[in-house]
Amino acid sequence: MDPTIQLASVLAAVNMVFLALLTGIWVRNYLAFRTPLVLGLVAFGAVMFTENALALYYFFSMTMLYSGDPTVQQAVTVLRGLQLVALGFLTYVTLQ
């Protein structure tokens, strides 16, 4: 596996940790407040967690899709990194 895709895999795994933490907080808040906004956050967290889990699956099982073009590998890694930054901000704000 190429180092760029390995980095993308690590970023996806870290994103999943953030999303698990956020979704847990949002589920707890939904059980307390029962508002549609918080339920939407729970759904958002679940969908994003699933997307990152599928990305990890494809990184490890279908490396041929990403191994052909270094530009694609870099783009995938940058997108995972941007997602990590966004989730980092969201986690920080949620924990405040």
12 within 8 A of 56, measured Cβ to Cβ: yes
pLDDT confidence bin for 61, thresholds 50/70/90: confident
How many domains in the chain?
1
The predicted-structure confidence for 12-48, as pLDDT tens digits, reads as follows: 999 999 999 999 999 999 999 999 999 999 999 999 9
Cα 6 versus chain centre, distance: 15
Q: Domain residues for 76?
A: 3-95
Give the mean model confidence (pLDDT) for residues 82-90: 97
pLDDT of 73 above 90? no
- What DSSP assignment string belongs to 75-95? HHHHHHHHHHHHHHHHHHHHH
Beta strand ranges found along 1-96 (DSSP E): none
